[in-house]
Homo-oligomer: A and B are copies of this chain.
Amino acid sequence: MVRPGGRSARVQASVHAAVRELEAEVGRDALTVPMVAQRAGVTPSTIYRRWGDLQELLSDVAVERLRPETPPEDHGDLASDLTAWAEQFLDEMASPSGRAYVRDALLGDPDGGNAGQCSAYAADQVQVILARALDRGEGAPDVETVMDGVVAPLMYRILFRPSGLDAAYARRLVTELLNSSGGGQ
């Protein structure tokens, strides 16, 4: 919907950059729309018109920050790839900033567009890993099975039940998934 390089894309880029800078300088809880507008060189009404309110803007910025920057690493087999990815996913999402971004993404939009985008990022990464396994001739579960067996328990516990979450737990989820689905054998 936003044409790259157009005025709308430039406004979005400068407003997002202003939020990221100000989050680092004054902290997320001190942000206000006028403060962001001044830093971005736009009027507050531009922000209200486009994002509705600060929460929606923070949600959009959070989703951008949760976008993976690189494809998952290739370790040569499905079990290793999925284990490494799950450990990294837990690490990033359970960090204080990761948790804050996930919360912001969830909060912004009652219709769930931003939350859906977060989940799509994870599913896309998993899909890359599974396609690679099939290319190698390995068996592999489908992406929704991995979402249910690995991504959902990690994210549920990060949000609701964080005590005792560690890399061993992430590894165990992957092992049990691959054992029960018969993939990765």
Contact = CB atoms under 8 A, between A and B. Distances in A.
A153 interface: yes
- Chain A's interface size range is 20 to 34
Interface in A118-157: 118-119, 147-148, 151-153, 155-157
For this chain, the copies found in one complex come to: 2
A126 to B, nearest CB: 13
A159 interface: yes
A58 to B, nearest CB: 12
A96 to B, nearest CB: 9
Interface string A81-108: 0000000000000000001100100110
A27 interface: no
A41 interface: no
Given A148-B156, A159-B159, 7 more contacts: A99-B110, A106-B159, A112-B160, A119-B161, A147-B153, A147-B161, A151-B156
